[in-house]
Chains A and B, each alone.
Chain A
Amino acid sequence: MDAEVADFGGLFEAHHRDLFRLALLLTGGDRSLAEEAVSQAFVTTLPKWRRGEVLDPLPYLRRAVANQVNGTFRRRRLERREAARHDDREPGSNREGAVDDRDVLWAALRLLPPRQRSAVVLRHYLDLSEADVARILQVSVGTVKSQTARGLGKLRSALGGFDA
Chain B
Amino acid sequence: MPEIGPGLADRLRALVADEEAPVSLRSGIQQQLRRPHPRSGVGPRVLVLATAAAMLVAVVAVAGGQGPFSSDRGLSVVTPAAQGHAPAAPDLPHGRSGTRVLASDATRTPGIASATLQRLQAAGYVTAGSLDAPERATTTRIYFVPGYEAEARDVARVLGLGESAVNRTPPAVPDPNGAEILVVIGSDLVAPR
List B1-44 residues whose CB lies under 8 Å from chain A. Answer: 1-2, 4-9, 11-13, 15-17, 19-22, 24-26, 28-30, 32-33, 37, 39, 42-43
Min Cβ gap B14→A in Å is 8
Do B129 and A163 touch (CB < 8 A)?
A: no
Q: Which chain B positions have C-beta within 8 A of A162?
A: 4-8, 11
Q: Which chain B positions have C-beta within 8 A of A25?
A: 12, 15-16
Set A43, A91, A101, A106: member contacting B29, Cβ < 8 A: A43
Min Cβ gap B17→A in Å is 8
> What's the Cα separation between A9 and B31 when bound, in Å?
11
Q: Given A43-B29, A44-B129, check contact A149 B15 (CB 8 Å).
A: no
Do A149 and B2 touch (CB < 8 A)?
A: yes
Do B12 and A121 touch (CB < 8 A)?
A: yes
Set A38, A46, A161, A163: member contacting B21, Cβ < 8 A: A38
> What's the Cα separation between A69 and B126 when bound, in Å?
23
Binds B, one of A12-20, A80-88, A132-140: A12-20
Q: Given A12-B26, A35-B21, check contact A163 B15 (CB 8 Å).
A: no
- Count of A-B residue pairs with CB < 8 Å: 94
Question: Is the contact region of chain B dominated by helix, strand, or loop, or is it mixed?
Answer: mixed
Do B15 and A17 touch (CB < 8 A)?
A: no
Q: Which chain B positions have C-beta within 8 A of A145?
A: 1
B178 at the binding interface (Cβ < 8 Å): yes
Q: Please name the residue on chain B nearest to A123 by beta carbon.
A: B4
B109 at the binding interface (Cβ < 8 Å): no
Set A20, A46, A121: member contacting B19, Cβ < 8 A: A20
> What's the Cα separation between A109 and B148 when bound, in Å?
49
Q: Which chain B positions have C-beta within 8 A of A46?
A: 32-33
Set A21, A105, A125, A153: member contacting B9, Cβ < 8 A: A125
A124 at the binding interface (Cβ < 8 Å): yes
Q: Which chain A positions have C-beta within 8 A of B11?
A: 101, 105, 162
List B80-105 residues whose CB lies under 8 Å from chain A. Answer: 100
Min Cβ gap B105→A in Å is 15
B177 at the binding interface (Cβ < 8 Å): yes
Set A16, A21, A148, A163: member contacting B1, Cβ < 8 A: A148
Q: Mark B71-83, 1 if CB is under 8 A from A, else 0.
A: 0000000000000
Interface size on A, residues (CB 8 A): 41
Q: Which chain A positions have C-beta within 8 A of B177?
A: 47
Q: Given A12-B26, A35-B24, A127-B9, check contact A43 B32 (CB 8 Å).
A: yes
A77 at the binding interface (Cβ < 8 Å): no
> What's the Cα separation between A47 and B128 when bound, in Å?
9
Q: Please name the residue on chain A nearest to B14 by beta carbon.
A: A102
Q: Please name the residue on chain A nearest to B37 by beta carbon.
A: A50
The chain A residues found within 8 Å of chain B, CB to CB, are 8-9, 12, 16-17, 20-21, 24-25, 31, 35, 38-39, 42-44, 46-47, 50-51, 91, 101-102, 105-106, 120-121, 124-125, 127, 145, 148-149, 152-153, 155-156, 161-164
The chain B residues found within 8 Å of chain A, CB to CB, are 1-2, 4-9, 11-13, 15-17, 19-22, 24-26, 28-30, 32-33, 37, 39, 42-43, 100, 128-129, 177-178
> Can you identify 9 A-B contacts, CB atoms within 8 angstroms?
A16-B25, A20-B21, A43-B32, A47-B39, A124-B8, A125-B9, A127-B9, A156-B2, A163-B6
